[in-house]
Amino acid sequence: MKDNSYQVIDLFAGAGGLSLGFESKGFEIALAIEKDTWAKETYNLNHQNKNCIEADIASLPDSFFLPYKGKVNVVMGGPPCQGFSIAASNRRKKDDSRNFLYKEFLRVVSLVDPEIVLIENVREFSRYHLPEGGLLIEDIKTTLHKLNYVCNCSVVDIKDYGIPQDRKRTFFLAIKHDIKPEINIIELLNPYKEKMISLGEAIGDLPIVAPRQFNEGDIMDYTTEPQNDFQKSLRDNCDKVYNHIPMQHTPRMIEKFKFIMKNSGKEAIPEELKPRVRGDVNTISNSVYCQNSRVMDASKISPTITASFYSSFIHPNQPRNLTVREAARIQTFPDWFVFTGKKTTLSKKLLAKKGIIEDLHLDQFNQVGNAVPPKMAGHLASICLNLLDRKV
């Protein structure tokens, strides 16, 4: 570890959106931990420190983290919370292994004793209930208060901070009491507010591509110059376009997209364009699908990019779903950042049922959708930098 920079541990790191934002502000990532193979490979391909280890945090003993005590300034991450419900007790499973991952995060904090703790999570994070009752967020606050931290938790819509996406997330910040006796995330974020950026402004300079036009893994050239400062900043001196291969849509699906784009949902989809039963192209499915029917508006900010967004939206003026690169732009990943692993896979449930174990990883779309937008992470890094430098 370097002596002249603040040190960070990134837990549940994924592809490294948080890490990228902190690196951009001069922090050094001393350690990153990610359980998924493909996400870990993406992290190590793109980051300054190739030190993301593939591990289940619960499997790492206390002795693994103790050498970082007194040397790491920030511990950050987004512990998975899918094992919790917002309110209904019948949806909580006491034996869900994910219920304990936030405790593993807190274990690392207690062992490393950083000046700052940062948690990013879904909007509902502050309303999750523990299996035994009580709020998850209150348990975290109580634990950190005992460790001499002051805490603040706020829901933030990142569209207000220069990210072209309507994405409401919970940010939890804790800092040692002797550094600052109280904090307010919203107030600390005020200097980083920017005008909203539309979808068209975010992705309008990327090459026009058609399904089945390219082979998987192909790299292409830009076909236009950047049209605004956002596009210029995301190109970041990159001279090639990566991860911009469309889904391999069938001719029927492409015609369906064209129909929807032309009719704006005003007419029912004709029989010949309706979805078919899986494995039987001659039988129309009776299932109701909400995917692949929402045309994005280039003049507005993007809807939330999620882990399964790839089949949720139609490009604003091309009859196809978004590419990984377009989603990465919306998430503010620079164009040189290359995502590895398969572009998409079957659902985890279906993969397990079919026994396709080798694909039970986070595909490129998952990696993009799960990430903290690096630009937002950069704002948070600036806040942490100012707190550590005693400038606020």
Nearest to 363 by CA among 264, 277, 247, 282: 247
Residue type, 212: R
Count of other CB atoms within 10 angstroms of residue 266: 7
Residue pair 32/5 in contact by the 8 Å Cβ criterion = no
What would the two tokens of residue 374 be? 């690096």
Q: Which of 52, 81, 151, 384 is catalytic?
A: 81
Nearest to 248 by CA among 344, 334, 136, 335: 344
Largest CA distance in the chain: 69
Name the DSSP class of 277. Answer: E
Which H/E stretch holds residue 95? Answer: none
Which residues, other chains included, contact 47 with Cβ-Cβ below 8 Å and sequence gap of 6+? 16, 19, 20, 23, 29, 32
Q: Is 81 a catalytic residue?
A: yes
Half-sphere exposure of 265 (CA within 13 A, CB side): 8
What would the two tokens of residue 98 be? 């994910």
Annotated catalytic residues are 81
